[in-house]
Amino acid sequence: MNALLRRCLLGWLSLTLCVMTTGCWSSYEIQQVDYAKAIGVDFKDGMYHIYVQTLDFASIAKSESSSKNEEAPPIWVGHAEGKTMSLALNELWRASQLHIAWGHVTAIVLAESVLNNKHIKDVFDMLGRFPEARYTTWVYGTRDSLLDILSTASIYNLSPLDSVLHNPLPSYMENSLFAPVLSFELISAHNDQATTTYLPAIALNKDLWLQNKKKHELFLIEGAFFERSGKKFEFLPRSELPGYHWLINNMRRAPLLIQKDNVIYGALSVGLPTIKIKPVIRGDNVTFRIDAKYLTALYEYLIPMSYDEMTRVSEARLKEQIMQTYRNGLERGVDVYGLQEKLYRKDPKLWHKLSGNGEKLILTEDSIEELNIHLIVPYTGKYKRKV
């Protein structure tokens, strides 16, 4: 009798556990899910506009296995608007045919209208409340149409994920002009009054690449947005930032012409910088001393020039580009190189006093007291220099 009762109790317990165990009842089949890969945010006429790029993972898998597909993987873009970010998303869900998964988003693109103090806080406050949201998504600003940006296919009919939008590092390693920014880096810089918030500006270029002699739109970083002392962002095109990258510590490599009196002698690949910026305080007067060292490679040697003259000419040209970029930033009210932060780290009380708690720029054209540039050219390729 005891054995029978024991077996009955065990059977009842097993049945209860089976009923109580939820298993995967709330899960979705992979073909029943819309996977969001990029989000675009605009603000027009008092309304937030949200664009969501979703991709078909089955097509992406095919494109990754072979680059010879006849058709590019399809890209779907949803668009909705609302008075708040949340209302715009709910409007998008209202017409969604499938469950949208947000854990795979790798890029956020902000229109120029969103790049101000209030709207950036609204955007990341809403996105940060999603449990699936990640702080390692790439973030860009843009002046182009968000619909065009999110609808652009990659080269060779590859997956849209193989592009500057979703994976900017390969391009940056080849030409380190404008560093990509992750969302946690943007949030950290934006929340720090003393830090200049920087955002690369992504655009579409129709001229550099052709497909069967037809123009093909591909992504390009056309410049950058910089925050003006806790206010709105200013856009500076690449032409106004010729020396911005020279004072970025993680700069990998960038080209520099060896040019004197309008004659081009060759070209260097400059990289691996060691940069030291020191604020010099004399009472309420603050200036900065900058020391920068670089390792370079000589990849183009057109006209013979002595090593000493080559380094001297190149150092002078690099210094000129740095100062030109600095002056262009001042004209827009922007601390391009983040010099004020160096003062804040050394003497926060003086920084608060001079900047009015971050409300005004304390820099002038004479704020860079000393700029020392030192180039070393240890590599000249397979050919030796003749002199």
13 versus 80: which is more confidently predicted?
80
- Report the mean per-residue pLDDT for the chain: 87
Q: Is the pLDDT of residue 2 over 90?
A: no
Q: Is the pLDDT of residue 337 over 80?
A: yes
Digit-coded pLDDT (tens) for 276-317: 999 999 999 999 999 999 999 998 889 988 989 999 999 999
Listed range (61-70, 88-97, 149-158, 259-268) with the worst mean pLDDT:
61-70
- Taking Cα atoms as reference points, which of 285, 294, 277 lies closest to residue 345? 277
Q: Is the pLDDT of residue 28 over 70?
A: no
pLDDT in the model for residue 141: 97
Chain CA centroid to CA 268, Å:
26
Spatial CB neighbours of 357, under 8 Å, sequence gap ≥ 6: 193
| Tokens read off for 214 | 């037809």
pLDDT in the model for residue 19: 56
pLDDT in the model for residue 295: 94
Output phi, psi for 7, to 5 deg: -65, -35
For residues 23 and 92, is the Cβ–Cβ distance under 8 A?
no
Neighbours of 260 (CB within 10 A): 17
For residues 238 and 222, is the Cβ–Cβ distance under 8 A?
yes
Instruction: Say if residue 384 is exposed, middle or buried (CB neighbours under 10 Å; 0-12, 13-18, 19+).
Output: exposed
pLDDT in the model for residue 328: 96
Listed range (100-109, 155-164, 270-279) with the worst mean pLDDT:
155-164
Q: Is the pLDDT of residue 133 over 90?
A: no
Residue matched to tokens 């700069």: 251
Q: Is the pLDDT of residue 212 over 70?
A: yes
Q: Once rounded to an integer, what is the mean pLDDT over residues 207-213? A: 83
Q: Is the pLDDT of residue 229 over 80?
A: no
Q: Is the pLDDT of residue 65 over 70?
A: no
Q: Once rounded to an integer, what is the mean pLDDT over residues 123-140? A: 86
Q: Is the pLDDT of residue 67 over 60?
A: no
Digit-coded pLDDT (tens) for 172-190: 998 899 999 999 999 999 8
Q: Which amino acid is at 39?
A: I
255 versus 61: which is more confidently predicted?
255
Query: What predicted TM-score, i.e. pTM, was given to this entire model?
Result: 0.87
> Does residue 35 sit in helix, strand or coil?
strand
Q: Is the pLDDT of residue 359 over 70?
A: yes
Q: Once rounded to an integer, what is the mean pLDDT over residues 144-154? A: 92
Q: How far lies 106's CA from each of 37, 38, 161, 267, in Å? A: 6, 6, 9, 36
> Does residue 110 sit in helix, strand or coil?
strand
Distance, CA of 239 to CA of 201 (rounded, Å): 13
Digit-coded pLDDT (tens) for 32-57: 677 889 999 999 999 999 999 988 76
- In this prediction, residue 121 has a pLDDT band, given cuts at 50, 70 and 90, of confident
Q: Once rounded to an integer, what is the mean pLDDT over residues 150-169? A: 87
Q: Once rounded to an integer, what is the mean pLDDT over residues 212-240? A: 89
Per cent of the chain over pLDDT 90 is: 55
pLDDT in the model for residue 101: 82
pLDDT in the model for residue 164: 93
Q: Is the pLDDT of residue 86 over 80?
A: yes
pLDDT in the model for residue 95: 80
Contacts 24+ apart (CB under 8 A), 267-272: 267/298, 267/299, 267/300, 268/296, 268/297, 268/298, 268/299, 268/314, 268/375, 268/377, 269/296, 269/297, 269/299, 270/246, 270/294, 270/295, 270/296, 270/318, 270/375, 271/176, 271/295, 271/296, 271/297
